[in-house]
Structure 1
Amino acid sequence: MPAAPQREFPCSWGRDRWGSGRPRDLPVLAVPLRSIGFVGNDADLARLYSAADVFVLPSREDNLPNTVMEAMACGIPCVGFAVGGVPDMIDHRVNGYLATPGDADDLARGIAWVLEDAGRRRRLAEAARGKALSEWHGDVIARRYLDVYNEALEESYGRSSAC
């Protein structure tokens, strides 16, 4: 596994399914963790994402994680396992890094790959922001819904709305 760069790793966690907050048995890690607690304010959340060099999603299963969308919207390259809907969000080595599922060494390589080259990180950040705007911006989503509704109206009634 590559040596961890000397950086700080702020961590936020919500409640688990049993109602507890901070995980009781955090593993001993080679890097310092700093708890920032739950962040519920959108402006604070955007500032935290924007201060990061990389966003890491170590989930072993996830559908379409909002955290990845949020990080990418703030122009932060993302690293995660290629599971569930994550590969639909992270384009490997374009706006982040997709690690082999369950391979912690590959996840670490991905983090190091993003962090080791500032120029690459800037390109990844621009691509992340671009994808977030082109795929998940409210106007884009609204247009997609309208297209679906218009298609349904056309199929059902032979007409579309004026939208």
Structure 2
Amino acid sequence: MSLSTQVLDAAKERGIMIATAESCTGGMVAAALTDIPGSSAVFERGFVTYTNQAKIDMLGVSPATLDAHGAVSEEVAREMAAGALSHAPVNLTVSITGIAGPGGSEFKPEGRVCFGIADANGVNSETVEYGALGREAVRASAKDHALALLLERLQTR
């Protein structure tokens, strides 16, 4: 059974509605969930906020947070997840912001991806360093990690 199917089944069992807030994955998590027939029972919407302005406009991410920490940070990932929770009639959100590559810097290397997950119990975040695996591999890995975070949160409810 695919990770997406497991997430949808767990959400259905618990009556949980989900939204995503994605940057570097450009909607891949939303696509993975909506590839499954019947996903509309638990998947409400996906926000693709690729630019900083989109993060501000669509999710309410603070310009001060972006200025202080940059888009690729746990602080922004947390605000993205919390923003999706407050801008959609859902119970659970996941966010992704990162540097899929090519490129990066000494301080924000290629393959760094920050995740946020939010529900009524609060917002958590984490960073995964995938390294310079290439854009496609980093994005696919980030999508799978976000799905795993959703499943983990659903299984602890």
Structure with more of its chain in strand, by fraction: 2
**Radius of gyration: which is bigger?**
1
Same fold by TM-score, threshold 0.5 exceeded? Answer: no
Q: TM-score range by the shorter chain?
A: 0.3 to 0.5
Task: Give the TM-score of the pair, scaled to structure 1.
Answer: 0.32
Task: Give the TM-score of the pair, scaled to structure 2.
Answer: 0.33
